[in-house]
Amino acid sequence: MKPQVVQESSFDRKRHIFGAIFGPLCALLVYFLPIAGLANMWIYDFDPAKLHEQFPEMKDYSLYGLLAIGHPDEKEGQPTELHSVRKSLEELVTTF
């Protein structure tokens, strides 16, 4: 019995290339952001379906993690008074 050969689409090839670039890029960001005075956090525990619901333009993307980047808190991780203040999606997201 011959093994089945699966043809890879150009979209799959692009996705693999993007993954090969994005992984090392994230590693560099995580390393260099603190040097620039910024903190970062890799977020892996999220619900992709909820993100796709909020951001339908991302429906064709598989999400594996998020990289949050911002200024570190001076109070060693204690929430600031702005912790619960949120902007609306319309203020943050531009769709094309």
- Which pLDDT score, from 0 to 100, does residue 3 have? 67
Q: Which helix (H) or strand (E) holds 89?
A: helix 89-92
State the chain's mean pLDDT as an integer: 78
- Between 88 and 7, where is the model more confident? 88
Q: What is the pLDDT of residues 35-79, one digit of tens each?
A: 888 888 888 788 888 888 888 888 887 777 788 888 887 766 677
Domain boundaries, the chain: 11-92
How far is residue 94's CA from residue 81's CA, in Å, rounded to a whole number?
27
% of the chain with per-residue pLDDT over 70:
76
Strand partners of residue 66: 43
